[in-house]
Amino acid sequence: MKFGLTLMLIRRLAVEISEINGITVPSVWKERKMAVGWSEACTLSRATAFNRTITAEFHKNIEECLLRVPTFADGTRIYMLEEASTTTVQKPRKVIAQKGYRQVSQVTSAEIGILVTTCCIVSASGTFIPPVMAFPRARLQPSLLTGSPPGTIALKSTSGWMSSDIFPEVMAHSSSIPIAQKKTRLF
């Protein structure tokens, strides 16, 4: 049927079967509602950059900034910008199949997708600016933003990645949002 059981589903199924049959399992299985997992990839530079010395330096710099400009202290003027890239096609996962089968496939919307980058900006006080989405297009269609949060804008990018060409438009978008709209809280 082209919808095999993924390893994630098997791990969840293992916990369900253990609960039904009263089998004792590690507490982490119950917390995560799945059998034990594996570690996530992390680059060496990221792993070594997060340490006591670097973190202390960061906090010292923030404290100096807050003392120098007291209006930053309430968090409404400190923002974090994060980019997330997504593809329009789901990546098939490994599935469990009967031994001997050579061609096991899963249904996707297409074989090759396009990359879309979403840029989100959130303040330390919990307010946010509507997202900016970068599409690899020559012309933008209004339908590209169907279902997106109100105020989201679409930008053209040759690759679908955020670039120095369109970044000024992201900053212009963030400064053009009226203060009343920025008051929307995340939590």
Summarised one tens digit per residue, pLDDT across range 162-178 is 888 888 888 888 776 65
DSSP character string of the chain:
---PEEHHHHHHHHHHHHHHTT----HHHHHHTSS---PPP--HHHHHHSSHHHHHHHHHHHHHHHHH-GGGGGSTT-EEEEEEEEESSPPPPPEE--TT--------S-SS--EEEEEEEEETTSBEEEEEEEE--SS--GGGGTTPPTT-EEEE-SSSS--TTTHHHHHHHHHHS-HHHHT-B--
Which pLDDT score, from 0 to 100, does residue 93 have? Answer: 67
- Against a cut of 0.75, is the pTM above it? no
- Give the confidence band of 127 by pLDDT, cuts at 50, 70, 90: confident
> Is 90 exceeded by the pLDDT of residue 101?
no
Which pLDDT score, from 0 to 100, does residue 21 have? Answer: 92
Q: What is the mean pLDDT of the chain?
A: 79
Summarised one tens digit per residue, pLDDT across range 66-80 is 888 887 777 777 888
Question: What percentage of the chain has pLDDT greater than the value 90?
Answer: 6
> Is 90 exceeded by the pLDDT of residue 56?
yes
> Is 60 exceeded by the pLDDT of residue 52?
yes
| Range with the largest mean pLDDT of 45-49, 133-137, 176-180 | 133-137
More confident residue, 62 or 87: 62
> Is 70 exceeded by the pLDDT of residue 187?
no
